[in-house]
A = this chain, B = another copy of it.
Amino acid sequence: MAVTSRERVRAAAVKLFAAKGFHGTGIRDLAQEAELSSASLYHYMGTKEDLLVEIMTTALRRLVDAARQAVDEATGPADRVRALVALHVLAHALRPAETRVVDNEVDALSDEPRDRVVRLRDDYEKLWSDAIEEGVAAGVFHTTHPAVTRLALLEMCNGVARWYSPRGPLPLDQLAGHYTELALRALGCACPAGVSGSRREREIVAKVWGVPV
């Protein structure tokens, strides 16, 4: 059950990149947080940027995997958006550090890895636009600028990683439910009453992120 040095390095990077930004985090900060010498860090990583890339791609791949699964299981566009929102919010609430890094540090990447990361993010957002457009086509959603709405909803949900605290008054499932309601309302959906909870998405998050949620 030992925590390996490798894991400590990664955890330190996630924590500090989220808290102080990539450029605001020094190698010595990472070393101190990981309880290693700065030279030892380099047994477990390539460059500092490699570490960032690994964190971002892993996080994004998990998000994509989870979202694909949730979308596949959902029935109809409303439920699909509900699932996407719930998943996104839960992921941001439970993994705020990783998700903040993903949301804030894209500009810190150099060209090649940024392209790769952006491509992954595009894959993810495609799931959202498909669901939204499908709902619009089906007459379930009513929004004049679906692409803008998608961006607005995504940003709205991203914010959760910035302020949510598990020690706060709002239980996770209510948080997810609230955001789901906000999103579906914003989409002009008459359906909020009929949509289910977010139990299934919690399972997916727990499984994909491999933690006891």
Which residues of A line the B interface, CB within 8 A? Answer: 19-24, 104, 107-108, 143-145, 148-149, 151-159, 162-163, 170, 174-175, 178-179, 182-183, 185-186, 188
* Chain B hits for A182, CB < 8 A: 143, 149, 152, 186
Identify whether the interface residues of A are mostly helix, strand, loop, or mixed: helix
Distance from A44 Cβ to chain B, minimum over Cβ atoms (Å): 17
How many monomers of this chain does the complex have?
A: 4
Of listed A108, A183, A186, residue having the most chain B CB within 10 A = A186
Chain B residues with CB below 8 A from A149, complex form:
178, 182
Asked whether B148 lies within 8 Å of A21 as measured between CB atoms, the reply is no
Contact residues in B for A151 (Cβ distance below 8 Å):
159, 163
CB distance from A186 to the nearest CB of B (A): 4
What residues of chain B lie closer than 8 Å to A153, measured between beta carbons?
156
Q: Are A179 and B155 in contact (CB under 8 A)?
A: no
CB distance from A62 to the nearest CB of B (A): 22
A30 to chain B, nearest CB (A): 15
